[in-house]
Amino acid sequence: MSKTVPSFVKPSGGILPSIPRQPQAPVVETAAPRLVPAKVGPLGRVQTVYIPCPEWCVVDHMDRTANLDDVMHYSDGDIVQVSTLTDDVNAHSEMYANISVDPTAADPRLRAAHLVINNGASPNDAYLTPDMADELADEMIAFASQLRAKARIVRLHNQAGGQA
């Protein structure tokens, strides 16, 4: 099955021209995860155990989990929403991002810290390595720049009378 490539895709393979990698702020992460209590086990046989938990994890592991294998770690989520002038109540679309670790995942790549991206409507998440997230961030910065340029064009068009 072949993919049809839209005409706006640049020969380099990206939709927008690449921009240089942006400087990275230092991330402060403790060398060893903290030990936190977690309630695990079926109702009536819940036990409190101590598990390693990354500094960035915001999960309350004292909310009971049936099996120790089901313990996961998540960071706070970031969200961007696309509003629309035709609906004052609901966003047109949205995208969420957070850090995750699934210590007992069948896929060993999910056992390492990674970023999870979801659009809020899809049952499927996108899992990104740090390098993939950097690349996505660079593309989003370029997209934001193009969006801002288009907004200026629309603003000037509307200020000049707005009719084509």
What is the predicted pLDDT for the residue at 78?
A: 95
What is the predicted pLDDT for the residue at 122?
A: 82
| Mean pLDDT lowest among 5-14, 49-58, 91-100, 148-157 | 5-14
Nearest in space to 99 (alpha carbons), one of 79, 71, 128, 75: 75
CA pair distance 98, 55, nearest whole angstrom: 14
What's the mean pLDDT when you consider all of the chain? 84
| Cα maximum dimension of the chain | 72
pTM above 0.85, yes or no: no
Span 47-72, pLDDT tens digits: 999 999 999 999 999 998 889 999 99
Domain boundaries, the chain: 34-128, 129-164
Q: How many CA atoms lie within 13 A of 56 on its CB side?
A: 15
What is the predicted pLDDT for the residue at 80?
A: 93
Averaged pLDDT, 125-146: 96
| Mean pLDDT lowest among 8-17, 19-28, 33-42, 120-129 | 8-17
Q: Which two tokens stand for residue 126?
A: 């996108």
In the chain, which ranges are continuous DSSP H helix?
A: 108-111, 130-159
What is the predicted pLDDT for the residue at 103?
A: 95
